[in-house]
């Protein structure tokens, strides 16, 4: 079994099925705390440094929320312009200093492999919140947790999954990480729907095909959306040379209720890492899908809190102490109804 305590979480390649099962099991244990049925202050006194050098809503706030829910304190740095990285300080030096102030660090940075570079200078665990177009391991774990919980309604698990990945598969780090995780399961069919110029990197395709899985690559939605799960993604404008170049690809694969009813199975679960681009020229996931029970995107985002709580508990070695640190919730809450 992988040793979690004291370890960095930088890439999904670190995990085998046993390690993933452990993360998903501890994530499920966090549900009573996230839904305010109970409190748990097992990390009281611990400090998370949440370093976000690229825009984020879900990942940054859910890392902070997860740490707070376990009783810890959160210190945030948002934007390179608010950090001495903008004065030429190296990632190594920044890591040496910040790790002296903290017990664990979560970090997002626009450059590929930068979080790994930072981790080399850190004396405490570093969790990758997204490094350029490379990886987003905590997103992939919460995606897997979501697929597992959504498929449970249909008596399915993570094996024998038929999934469509759609949109900007070249730059979308979430689909890179998710594909690598899925390759660990049995008999997976992955249909990759994207413009030809935005296809999944060969290395990710090989990870799936070398593990014996069926991979279909196409630039057409018609006839290719009969799946258990459709995982839609945004055109990652921030990874293109210009907005004009990104505009070339926007709006090609908009999923809306009409497309869903025409091409998908009745119970196809719709996922998206979010943010979805709701501008009319993009609209990859139309708001007319909001009324569908199978639109899992907001449950998916909520699951991010559970998975990040689990990763903090595991890397800080307290996953077996949760129940000893439980307390009642004293305030009004509508979350546990
Ligand atoms: N899914 C995700 O990474 O969202 P944010 O960019 O808002 O963190």
Per-residue model confidence (pLDDT) at position 133: 86
**Integer Cα distance of 83 and 78 in angstroms:** 8
Give the closest residue (by CA) to ligand 1 atom 1.
273
As averages over each run of 10 residues, the pLDDT of the chain (337 residues) reads: 95 97 98 97 98 97 98 97 95 98 98 97 98 94 98 96 97 94 98 96 97 97 96 92 90 93 95 95 94 97 98 98 97 89
CA of 211 to the centre of ligand 1 (A): 29
Question: Does 58 contact ligand 1 (Cβ within 6 A)?
Answer: yes
Per-residue model confidence (pLDDT) at position 317: 98
Closest ligand 1 atom to Cα of 59:
8
Closest ligand 1 atom to Cα of 274:
1
Closest ligand 1 atom to Cα of 301:
1
Question: Does 57 contact ligand 1 (Cβ within 6 A)?
Answer: yes
Closest ligand 1 atom to Cα of 62:
8
Give the closest residue (by CA) to ligand 1 atom 3.
59
CB-based contact 70:323 (threshold 8 Å): no
CA of 330 to the centre of ligand 1 (A): 31
Give the closest residue (by CA) to ligand 1 atom 4.
58
Question: Does 56 contact ligand 1 (Cβ within 6 A)?
Answer: yes
Per-residue model confidence (pLDDT) at position 238: 87
Give the closest residue (by CA) to ligand 1 atom 5.
56
- Whether pTM exceeds 0.85: yes
Question: Does 59 contact ligand 1 (Cβ within 6 A)?
Answer: yes
CA of 232 to the centre of ligand 1 (A): 14
CA of 58 to the centre of ligand 1 (A): 5
**Integer Cα distance of 31 and 307 in angstroms:** 10
Residue to mutate (ligand 1; options 52, 54, 56; most atoms within 8 A of CB): 56
């Amino acid at each position: 079994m992988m040793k979690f305590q004291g370890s960095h979480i930088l890439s999904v390649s670190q995990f085998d099925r046993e390690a993933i099962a452990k993360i998903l099991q501890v994530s499920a244990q966090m549900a009573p705390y996230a839904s305010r049925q109970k409190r748990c202050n097992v990390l009281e006194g611990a400090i998370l440094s949440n370093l976000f050098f690229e825009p984020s809503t879900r990942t940054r706030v859910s890392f902070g929320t997860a740490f707070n829910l376990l009783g810890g304190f959160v210190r945030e740095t948002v934007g390179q312009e608010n950090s001495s990285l903008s004065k030429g300080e190296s990632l190594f030096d920044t890591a040496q200093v910040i790790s002296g102030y903290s017990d664990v660090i979560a970090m997002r940075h626009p450059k590929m492999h930068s979080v790994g570079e930072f981790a080399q200078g850190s004396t405490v665990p570093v969790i990758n919140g997204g490094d350029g177009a490379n990886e987003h391991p905590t997103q992939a774990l919460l995606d897997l947790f979501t697929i597992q919980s959504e498929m449970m309604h249909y008596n399915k698990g993570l094996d024998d999954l038929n999934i469509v990945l759609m949109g900007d598969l070249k730059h979308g780090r979430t689909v890179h990480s998710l594909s690598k995780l899925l390759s660990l399961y049995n008999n997976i069919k992955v249909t990759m729907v994207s413009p030809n110029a935005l296809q999944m990197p060969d290395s990710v395709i090989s990870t799936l095909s070398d593990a014996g899985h069926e991979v279909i690559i196409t630039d057409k939605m018609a006839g290719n959306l009969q799946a258990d799960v459709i995982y839609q993604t945004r055109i990652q404008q921030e990874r293109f040379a210009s907005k004009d170049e990104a505009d070339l690809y926007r709006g090609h694969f908009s999923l809306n209720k009409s497309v869903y009813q025409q091409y998908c199975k009745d119970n196809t679960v719709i996922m998206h890492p979010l943010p979805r681009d709701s501008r009319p020229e993009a609209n990859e996931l139309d708001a007319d899908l909001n009324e569908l029970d199978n639109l899992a995107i907001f449950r998916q985002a909520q699951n991010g809190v559970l998975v990040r709580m689990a990763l903090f508990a595991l890397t800080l070695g307290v996953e077996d102490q949760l129940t000893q640190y439980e307390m009642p919730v004293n305030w009004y809450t509508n979350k546990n109804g």
